[in-house]
Structure 1
Amino acid sequence: ATEIAGIAGRKDFSMICLEKSLMNREVGFAHRLLGIFREHGVSFEQCPSSIDSISVIVEDAQLQGVDELILDEIKRQLEPDHLFLERNLALIAVVGEGMVRTVGIAAKIFNALKEAGINVRIINQGASEMNIIIGVAAVDYEKAVRALYAAFVIDSRTGSAGG
Structure 2
Amino acid sequence: GITGKKGFVAMSFEKDIGSDRLTFGRKILQVFEEAMVMVEHVPSSIGTMTVVVSADEIKGKEESILRRIRREIDPYSMKVERNLALVAVVGQRIADVIGSTYQILKAIADQNIGVRLVIQGVNEITLIVGVDEKDFEKTVECLYEYRQKAEKEQSEVD
- State the TM-score, normalized to the length of structure 2: 0.91
Deviations 1:9-57 (A, max 9, x none): 0000001111112369621211111000000101111111111211100
Q: Hey, which bits of structure 1, 4+ residues long, moved more than 6 A? A: none
Deviations 1:76-129 (A, max 9, x none): 111001112111000010001222242011111111011000111101111211
**Residues 1:64 and 2:52 aligned together:** no
- Distance in 1 between the 2:114 and 2:48 partners? 19
Q: Structure 2: state its 5+ residue gaps.
A: none
Larger strand share, 1 or 2 = 2
Given the alignment, which residue of 22, 35, 41 partners 2:17? 22
What secondary structure is seen at the aligned counterpart in 2 of 1:45? strand
Please say which of residues 40-49 and 95-104 is displaced more in the overlay: 95-104
- Distance in 2 between the 1:39 and 1:127 partners? 29
Q: Is the 8 A contact 1:23 1:29 kept in 2?
A: no
Q: CA offset at residue 154 of structure 1?
A: 3.3
Question: How many equivalent pairs are there?
Answer: 155
Given the alignment, which residue of 24, 42, 49 partners 1:54? 49
- Distance in 2 between the 1:114 and 1:35 partners? 36
Residue aligning to 2:40:
45
Structure 1 pair 27/109, CA: closer, same or farther in 2 (3 Å)? Answer: same
What secondary structure is seen at the aligned counterpart in 2 of 1:100? helix
Residue aligning to 1:82:
77
Matched AA of 2:68: E
- Distance in 2 between the 1:55 and 1:128 partners? 20
- Distance in 1 between the 2:53 and 2:131 partners? 14
Please say which of residues 96-105 and 121-130 is displaced more in the overlay: 96-105
Q: Is the 8 A contact 2:94 2:101 kept in 1?
A: no
Aligned CA RMSD, in angstroms, stands at 1.8
Q: Structure 1: state its 5+ residue gaps.
A: 1-5
- Distance in 2 between the 1:54 and 1:64 partners? 21
Structure 1 pair 25/153, CA: closer, same or farther in 2 (3 Å)? Answer: farther
Given the alignment, which residue of 98, 104, 122 partners 1:127? 122
Residue aligning to 2:30:
35
Larger helix share, 1 or 2 = 2
- Distance in 2 between the 1:23 and 1:43 partners? 28
- State the TM-score, normalized to the length of structure 1: 0.89
